[in-house]
Structure 1
């Protein structure tokens, strides 16, 4: 069963990308998976969304470090190739780029993952903080061609707005 995000969000997928059930692609620890329509050398670029309620005061950089540690458990090698703080004091975020070598689909692959961490406060109780992670994973060869799609996706992510009928 896919994870449930601690806060409801809405977003729009880039043209051509399509959603798949996380369980069907072996990703039960995420809430959402989208795939690119054109695989590269047998690997399909994907966007995943996951998140956690974070009652602690951990900085987004610390949370990103935790993600790197988890990735090291499955990757043969991994390098953090970039990290930047984004957003504002009211809506902080962090981007992180990883280069890794891992076995995917039974084949050793050189992959790149771009991660975006968004801190969101509960509207009713600002002491409750959730951190949402958006990630693009692609082969090193395909990464540059799908990165702008991912950036477009990230720009559309926002807390879900509820309208009364």
Structure 2
């Protein structure tokens, strides 16, 4: 079941990517999914966007750690954080991290890389409510260098707005 984001955002989808139904793409909890036009060795790079209210005091690094733990539980393989950095400002904090892991998709083993970006935003209607938006690029390890720049363009285009652009 596709979910919506707790606050509206807009972003630009780079060329070479096409929006897809989250349910059909196997990401039912996502608010938005884009698939790359060129699969690599049977794996299609994808970008997902989701988010949730986080009324708890968890920091972005703690939230990112939760994601690593959840991913390890789902993939049942070790997940390695290969890079992590805090970004943004005090008013608009962010965190980026890169994960490496392996999985089997369609009976085929894949070494994957996932770039995750967490953006903390305040609800414009109630500034006491914090929302964390998560943007995720998942690709084969071999294709990651080629699609990372596209993901970075999408992340840089995120802005408050009506709804995600396609």
TM-score, normalising length from structure 1? 0.95
Distance in 2, Cα, partners of 1:92 & 1:8: 18
Instruction: Give the match for residue 35 of structure 1.
Output: 35
| 1:141 match | 142
Alpha-carbon distance between aligned partners in 2 of 1:106 and 1:53, rounded to the nearest angstrom:
36
Is residue 67 of structure 2 the alignment partner of residue 71 of structure 1?
no
Q: CA, structure 1 residues 105+158, in 2 after alignment: closer, same or farther (shift >3 Å)?
A: farther
Unaligned stretches of 5+ in structure 1? none
Tell me what 1:156 maps to.
157
Cα contact 1:109–1:139 (8 A) shared by 2 = yes
| Runs of 4 or more above 4 Å deviation | none
Alignment match, 2:123: 122
Q: Distance in 2 between matches of 1:108 and 1:74?
A: 15
**Structure showing greater relative contact order (alpha-carbon pairs closer than 8 Å, 6 or more residues apart):** 2
Secondary structure (helix, strand or coil) at the match of 2:30 reads coil
Partners in 1 of 2:131 and 2:105 — Cα distance? Answer: 30
Q: Is the 8 A contact 1:77 1:102 kept in 2?
A: no
- Does the CA-based 8 Å contact 1:117-1:133 persist in structure 2? yes
Gapped regions of structure 2 (runs ≥ 5): none
C-alpha RMSD of matched pairs (Å): 1.2
> Which residue number in structure 1 is paired with residue 132 of structure 2?
131
Size of the aligned set, in residue pairs, is 162
Q: 1:161: Cα distance to partner?
A: 5.2
Taking structure 2 as the reference length, the TM-score comes to: 0.94
Q: CA deviation at 1:36?
A: 0.6
